[in-house]
């Protein structure tokens, strides 16, 4: 029986949802490793909606409906997911991770931010069940707020890394083509577009993340 991966999405597009390159690279790396991948997202209005053409505010959109673009319509709300449905959990980056999955980007100094309740429940249930968790780009901020003392990377030293440490996380610098492993908490993170300049670097980092996640099973 194939191992099962679950990708947690936050919409579609880097400005207000899941980063498309990161998500597709994660999907490809998981497929190349032999995983059967399913998708989930919160069924809620986006915390912010931005035009990907102009950068201006745009009409409100539903996170689940937007995320369904990645899944070709085959996606379930986070609230309907059981920890028994997957073997590993992967969270791509994109500003939706910091706007909707948690409200990090909406806080002035980024401190004391909160994770959307159904997302927190999913992450903590995965951790309690010893299911490996991967996160890319800014998405480790979700893990920093859910898993006290977790070690993550946000690429180089930056405000986000300092804010993750303020939440109790440990941070390590890492190149876009590599990943950081917290063996104790079974967490693997890769910085992706926090530091990457090319999509090929994203794919290398995603592949490294999946390789390390698989080793934790």
Return the active site residues.
137
- 192 φ/ψ sector (left φ>0, alpha ψ -120 to 50, else beta): left
Closest CA to 133 of 77, 183, 96: 183
Rounded Cα–Cα distance for residues 41 and 23 (Å): 13
> 133: helix, coil or strand?
strand
Interacting residues of 112 by C-beta distance below 8 A, sequence separation 6+: none
b/e for 138-161, b at 16 or more Cβ within 10 A? Answer: bbbbbbbbbbeebbbbbbeeeebb
Please give the biggest Cα pair distance in the chain.
Answer: 47
Interacting residues of 203 by C-beta distance below 8 A, sequence separation 6+: 25, 28, 29
Per the CB < 8 A criterion, the answer to whether 91 and 8 are in contact is yes
Residue 10 is classified by DSSP as -
């Amino acid at each position: 029986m194939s191992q099962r991966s679950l990708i947690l999405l936050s919409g579609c597009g880097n400005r207000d949802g899941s980063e498309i390159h990161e998500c597709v690279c994660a999907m490809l790396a998981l497929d190349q490793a032999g995983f059967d991948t399913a998708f989930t997202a919160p069924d809620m209005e986006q915390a912010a909606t931005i035009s990907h053409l102009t950068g201006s505010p745009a009409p409100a959109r539903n996170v689940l409906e937007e995320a369904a673009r990645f899944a070709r319509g085959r996606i379930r709300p986070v609230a309907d997911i059981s920890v028994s449905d997957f073997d590993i959990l992967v969270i791509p980056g994109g500003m939706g991770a910091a706007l909707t999955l948690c409200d990090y980007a909406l806080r002035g100094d980024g401190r004391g931010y909160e994770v959307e309740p159904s997302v927190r429940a999913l992450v903590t249930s995965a951790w309690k069940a010893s299911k490996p968790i991967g996160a890319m780009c800014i998405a480790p901020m979700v893990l920093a707020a859910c898993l006290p003392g977790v070690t993550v990377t946000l690429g180089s030293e930056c405000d986000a890394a300092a804010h993750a440490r303020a939440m109790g996380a440990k941070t390590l610098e890492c190149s876009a083509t590599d990943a950081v492993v917290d063996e104790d908490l079974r967490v693997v993170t890769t910085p992706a577009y926090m530091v990457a300049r090319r999509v090929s670097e994203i794919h290398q980092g995603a592949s490294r993340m999946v390789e390390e996640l698989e080793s934790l099973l």
